[in-house]
Structures are given as structure tokens and as C-alpha cells.
């Protein structure tokens, strides 16, 4: 931006806070007039710096081309030569009591990354449609991206009405078509405005050439946009950019994305789960030391104790911490020429943190044109898809609908951005409670009877046989039959299933993803204790999530055996012993595993028992043979 304009914009900036500032992105297909609209807005409200209009006129005269308002925003030489906006331009604008940052995002397909960058910071959007060309494919892509990024304050400007002789019928046709599309993706356009940015019609004031339109102008519509909830009023999120050491101080530095903090606040750092209190908020060249800081400020803090935290961790208040997980849903827009594929590992950037993530499943690919979706084995360029991602370690994250700034991710490979996306946990649980250890000052006591003596008396090794599989696969039936057979043959054996733990031990748990995870955690710990007492414990739980089963394996130690009772959904649904599938199909049961909630098949179970085409006795014989081969005292 030229220096004189920059000076004026800095003056506007003075005294502005995020509470009275609206960020508006202007998006649309290439050459639909975005930059022209911005230039005209500045001229018609008297905000062009002195001499700026004359400078643009002289530049156009030297180039032998018609006057272009777009040159106010298109500051790069390459853009002037090619007539397209390449980079995302931002400029401050003021009208009446409200101040704005106007973001001019490129519309060309080749620069879609820049468009996403611009839109991701916006509070509202002005969508541009060329009245002569009508709604284009890129127009639909842009609006879907706005929906994806959570921009809900939207208006539409149907530009270049001068090219269609200000025809009302043409405007109404585009208005009906585009409003219908926007409503289909969950966006209610605040206004649809017929304009001519070049001529100034309905930009700042009403147009005499479109008397059939009695709505507000573009600038009047921008004043109607509702300011979003201030990030200051949301839960604290401070992703750490780095840790610096000065003198004997360790200063944790980062930008507060939401919320506020004070000296003395207790913070938890995720995903390490370490806690400490703020000792100081560091400040430089200030008269008094700071005691508080809030969203959109970059800060450095020290803690009251030297805990180990590192770049990428997220500081929050203990009472409202982010989600901790290693698996989540991601809705993404794929930008790369090489398709996204299941099983491939990519880099994932979440705030300042970088880690590896594997695409476990493509749930659906969304047809932006038809507003339909279909199953797919890959995601091609410019497609929007919902996928399941598993990271190589726990990560702190938020549902995008709750906290957009910490619910966005970037997928990359060798520093090249491949996709942007937003996070949803869906039916996956927050794993924080399952990994948090609150007990302290405990000393483990050794038993007077060791496992060897127990095994000698029982004539078998202890163990945990963890049956997992879909509802209706036969877990409980086989567990009870196996218990009966083994008991008759002298084994000390006991079955844990949903009925005998949810009426007692886990009676206080519901069926939320977090409660289901806690249910499995408790069962895993009880099974491990019973195994330590010398028993063979058989568990019969769907336990759909790999992370939960991994924790049960960790608790059970070397005696743990994961046994996959395998049957496909169609087979299980045909059995439906409790009528659960029927109720799930009717919508009476939400988040039902295999229908509306995922089941993560075991990747390397000790035994697979396929009940699809075998009778109960054959499966039972297979299980008994496995136990005898692996748990009898004589087995080596």
C-alpha cells in the first residue's frame, strides 16, 4: 500500500478494538468486480487520500487503458498486467460509527489458497456475482468455503448491472438461483443487492437507474452485519509459540486466541496436562507491570513453578480446557493436484504445532454443485470431503463450531499446503479424563502371593480376553458360552459385560462419547485387577474406539488378548437381537455404532473369530482351543 494510504489507515487504526471492528471479505469469481467495488467504496465515501484518484488516472493513461478502480487494491505489478487479484489485500475502511477491515480475496482458481487465507479471518462476506455471466461454478465453491469456515454474515452483490441495461428480470433470476443455493448449504443471505461498481450504482447511495430496487446500498448493508461474539468472552486459549530463557526466567510466549488471563490464574497446558499458576505477565517499555491480557494480544508469561512445556501446547484455564484426542473428523477442501488417499500420512498444522496424521477413512465427498454427497476412495483437487484423521500423538483442539480459531487445521506435505479444514469430534470422545491422573502420594504394595503361585494352583495363567465387535456380532453369546465351557474344565473364569457393570460400577455413566470411554476405561482396570488375582476375565463390549482398547491393553499388560468377534453390519442387522438396529434406523437411538457412529476395527488382534458364516459351536471350539494353547500351565 502506498505510504500516504498507509498513514491514513494507521490513523483509523488508533483506538480501535476488536469489539467495534468488522472484518469483511469480498469474494467472487475472477473479474466479477471485487477490487473495483472496494475502490469505488473509498471514492464515494470521500476516503481516498489526496491525489490518489489522479495517480490512478495517470497510471491508466500511461498504460493506454480505461480507468480502473481496482488499482487501488491491486498493488502488485503482476496483477495490473494480468488483470486479476493474486494476493489477499487488506485495507482499513470507516463509515459512520463502524470501522472495517476490507479483505479483497482472489477469485481465480489458481489462487484459491489465498482466498481461503483471507476468508478464514473474516467476520462477514460480500459475495460478488457478474450480472452478465451469472452464477458460476467458482461462485458456488466460494460460498461453500465460507460455510466451511463458519462465516455466516453474508450478503450478495450482483455486479455489472450496467452490462445488462439494469434489467430487473435478469437480477431476479440470479437472486432466486443463488439464494436457493445458499439456503441449501445453510447460509441465509442478509441482502441481495443489484449494483454497478464501475458506475457507482447502489454502492454508497441508491441508484436512479434501478428504481425498482428499494433496498439498502452495499455500504448500508455492511452496517447491518452483526458483530461476532468477542473472542475475549470465550474460553482462554493461548497456543505457545516458543519458550525463552532470560536470566533465571522461563518466558512462555504466544498469541491469545480467545479469552483473557490474569496474574495468579491457574493454567493447564494441553496435551501434557501439566498445571501451574501465572507468576507474571512480562511487558517491555511500560511504566507498570501488566496484570491482565486478553484475546488478540501477544504475550509472554512466567509460571510459579518450573514445569516442562513446549511449543505447540495450549494454555487454558483448568475449568474450560480444550479437547485432547488423537482421532477426529475433519471437513477439508483439497487443494493439491495429487489426490488425498486413505492410509497416507500427512503433516498437520494446528496453530503453532506440527505433527503427523494418517487419513483413516473418507466418510463422504461433497458435490458442491449438486449439494449431494457420495462415497469415495480418494479426494481430488477442489473437492470438499469429510474424513477421519488419526494423529501420531495426542493433540489439543476444539470443535470448530465452538471455538473457530483453535478448530482449524492445515494439511501439508514438505511445506506445501495441501488442504485446509475444520474439526468436529462427532461421536469421538474427549480423551482428557481417561489420561488424567489426579491421585498423588501413593505407594504400590507388593502382594504376598505372586502370579506364579496363583497360576500353579489354578492350573492356568491369568488373562484378559477382550471381545470387541459390532452389536449383534455374538460377543455376549460367545463370552457366556466360553465361561461355561472353561469353568466346567476347571478354569477360574468370569465375564464382564455391559449388563453387569452398568447396573453397579458404572451406574453413574450415561452414553455420551466421554461416558462411553470412561465405561471402557473402568472395565479395563477391573479386568486387569481380576486378572492379577489369577482369573481369566472375558469382556464383551463393543468398545468401538482403538484408543480405548489400547488403554485397556496397557492396563492388562502381557496377559491382555484382543479378540475381534467379526461380523459385518448387514449380518448384525439381520440378527438384531435387541431390536437396536431397527430403532437406530428409525432415529430413536442417536450415535449408534455401525449406523451413525464409527467402529474402528482392530488393526492387529490376537485372534479373529468370524461369526458371519460359522455356527456358535464352531466359534466356541475355536476360542476354547485358543485359551488352552495360550493359558494352560503346560503351554509354553
Q: Which residues are catalytic?
A: 543
Rounded to whole angstroms, the Cα distance separating 28 from 37 reads 12
Contact 118, 151 (CB under 8 A): no
**DSSP letter for each residue of 532-548:** HTT-EEEEE-----HHH
Cell of 103: 479483505
Asked if 469 and 519 touch (Cβ cutoff 8 Å), the reply is no
| The three grid cell numbers given for residue 87, joined into one nine-digit string | 494476493
Cell of 273: 496436562
* 568 Cβ contact partners less than 8 Å away, ≥ 6 residues apart: 470, 612
Enumerate the H helices of 64-217 as residue ranges: 77-82, 112-120, 137-149, 168-184
Question: How is residue 202 written as a grid cell?
Answer: 447502489
DSSP summary character for residue 258: B
C-alpha cell at 260: 483473557
Grid cell, residue 68, equals 480502473
The span from the CA of 448 to the CA of 445, in Å, is 9
Return the SS3 of 552.
helix
C-alpha cell at 108: 481465480
**What are the Cα distances from residue 615, in Å, to 286, 291, 622?**
79, 70, 11
Of 25, 49, 45, 214, the C-alpha closest to 123 is 25
Best CA proximity match to 563, nearest among 479, 468, 634, 477: 468
- Pairwise CA distance, residues 333 & 330, whole Å: 10
Q: Which helix (H) or strand (E) holds 167?
A: none
Kindly compute the dihedral angle of the four CA atoms of residues 138, 139, 144, 150, in this order, to the nearest 10 degrees: 120
C-alpha span between 469 and 250 (Å, rounded): 49
Q: Are strands 463-468 and 536-540 parallel, antiparallel or unpaired?
A: parallel
The span from the CA of 394 to the CA of 427, in Å, is 17
Q: For residue 596, give every residue at least 6 positions away whose Cβ sits within 8 Å of its Cβ, in sequence order, or none.
A: 427, 584, 590
Amino acid at each position: 500500500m502506498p505510504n500516504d494510504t498507509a498513514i491514513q489507515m494507521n490513523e483509523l487504526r488508533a483506538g480501535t478494538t476488536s469489539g467495534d471492528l468488522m472484518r469483511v471479505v469480498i469474494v467472487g469469481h475472477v473479474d466479477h468486480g471485487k477490487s473495483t467495488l472496494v475502490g469505488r467504496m473509498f471514492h464515494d465515501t470521500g476516503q481516498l487520500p489526496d491525489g490518489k484518484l489522479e495517480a490512478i488516472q495517470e497510471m491508466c493513461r500511461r498504460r493506454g487503458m480505461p480507468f480502473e478502480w481496482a488499482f487501488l487494491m491491486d498493488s502488485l505489478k503482476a496483477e495490473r498486467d494480468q488483470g486479476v487479484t493474486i494476493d489477499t489485500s487488506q485495507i482499513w475502511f470507516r463509515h459512520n460509527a463502524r470501522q472495517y477491515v476490507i479483505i479483497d480475496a482472489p477469485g481465480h482458481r489458481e489462487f484459491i489458497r489465498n482466498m481461503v487465507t483471507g476468508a478464514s479471518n473474516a467476520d462477514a462476506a460480500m459475495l460478488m456475482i457478474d450480472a452478465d455471466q451469472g452464477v458460476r461454478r467458482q461462485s458456488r465453491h466460494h460460498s461453500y468455503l465460507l460455510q466451511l469456515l463458519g462465516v455466516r454474515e453474508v450478503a450478495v452483490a450482483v455486479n455489472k448491472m450496467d452490462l445488462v441495461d439494469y434489467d430487473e428480470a435478469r437480477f431476479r433470476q440470479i437472486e432466486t438461483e443463488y439464494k436457493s443455493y445458499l439456503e441449501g448449504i445453510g447460509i441465509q443471505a442478509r441482502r441481495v443487492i443489484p449494483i454497478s461498481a464501475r458506475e457507482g450504482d447502489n454502492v454508497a447511495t441508491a441508484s436512479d437507474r434501478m428504481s425498482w430496487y428499494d433496498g439498502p446500498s452495499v455500504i448500508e448493508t455492511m452496517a447491518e452485519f452483526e458483530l461476532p461474539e468477542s473472542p475475549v468472552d470465550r474460553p482462554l486459549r493461548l497456543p505457545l509459540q516458543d519458550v525463552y530463557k532470560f536470566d533465571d526466567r522461563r518466558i512462555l510466549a504466544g498469541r491469545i486466541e480467545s479469552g483473557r488471563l490474569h496474574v495468579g490464574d491457574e493454567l493447564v497446558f494441553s496435551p501434557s496436562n501439566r498445571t501451574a499458576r501465572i507468576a507474571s505477565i512480562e511487558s517491555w517499555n511500560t511504566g507498570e507491570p501488566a496484570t491482565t491480557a486478553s484475546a488478540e494480544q501477544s504475550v509472554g508469561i512466567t509460571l510459579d513453578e518450573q514445569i516442562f512445556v513446549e511449543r505447540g501446547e495450549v494454555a487454558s484455564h483448568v475449568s474450560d480446557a480444550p479437547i485432547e484426542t488423537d482421532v477426529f473428523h475433519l471437513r477439508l477442501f483439497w487443494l493439491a493436484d495429487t489426490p488425498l488417499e486413505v492410509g497416507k500420512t500427512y503433516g498437520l498444522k494446528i496453530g503453532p504445532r506440527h505433527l503427523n496424521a494418517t487419513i483413516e477413512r473418507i466418510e463422504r465427498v461433497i458435490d458442491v454443485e449438486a449439494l449431494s454427497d457420495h462415497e469415495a476412495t480418494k479426494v481430488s483437487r477442489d473437492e470438499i470431503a469429510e474424513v477421519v484423521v488419526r494423529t501420531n500423538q495426542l493433540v489439543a483442539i476444539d470443535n470448530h463450531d465452538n471455538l473457530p480459531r483453535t478448530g482449524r487445521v492445515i494439511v501439508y506435505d514438505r511445506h506445501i499446503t495441501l488442504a485446509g479444514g475444520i474439526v468436529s469430534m462427532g461421536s469421538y470422545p474427549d480423551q482428557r479424563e481417561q489420561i488424567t491422573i489426579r491421585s498423588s502420594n501413593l505407594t504400590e504394595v507388593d502382594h504376598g502371593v505372586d502370579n506364579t503361585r496363583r497360576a500353579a494352583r489354578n492350573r492356568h495363567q491369568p488373562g484378559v480376553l477382550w471381545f470387541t465387535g459390532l452389536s449383534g456380532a455374538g460377543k455376549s453369546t460367545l463370552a457366556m458360552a466360553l465361561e461355561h465351557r472353561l469353568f466346567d474344565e476347571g478354569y477360574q473364569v468370569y465375564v464382564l459385560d455391559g449388563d453387569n457393570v452398568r447396573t453397579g460400577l458404572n451406574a453413574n455413566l450415561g452414553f455420551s462419547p466421554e461416558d462411553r470411554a470412561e465405561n471402557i476405561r473402568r472395565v479395563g482396570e477391573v479386568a486387569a485387577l481380576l486378572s492379577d488375582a489369577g482369573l481369566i476375565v472375558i469382556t464383551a463390549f463393543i468398545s468401538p474406539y482403538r484408543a480405548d482398547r489400547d488403554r485397556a491393553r496397557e492396563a492388562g499388560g502381557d496377559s491382555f488378548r484382543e479378540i475381534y468377534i467379526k461380523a459385518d453390519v448387514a449380518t448384525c442387522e439381520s440378527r438384531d437381537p435387541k431390536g437396536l438396529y431397527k430403532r437406530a434406523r428409525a432415529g430413536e437411538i442417536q450415535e449408534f455404532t455401525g449406523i451413525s457412529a464409527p467402529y474402528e476395527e482392530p488393526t492387529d488382534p490376537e485372534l479373529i473369530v468370524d461369526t458371519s458364516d460359522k455356527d456358535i459351536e464352531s466359534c466356541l471350539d475355536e476360542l476354547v482351543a485358543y485359551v488352552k494353547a495360550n493359558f494352560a500351565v503346560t503351554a509354553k
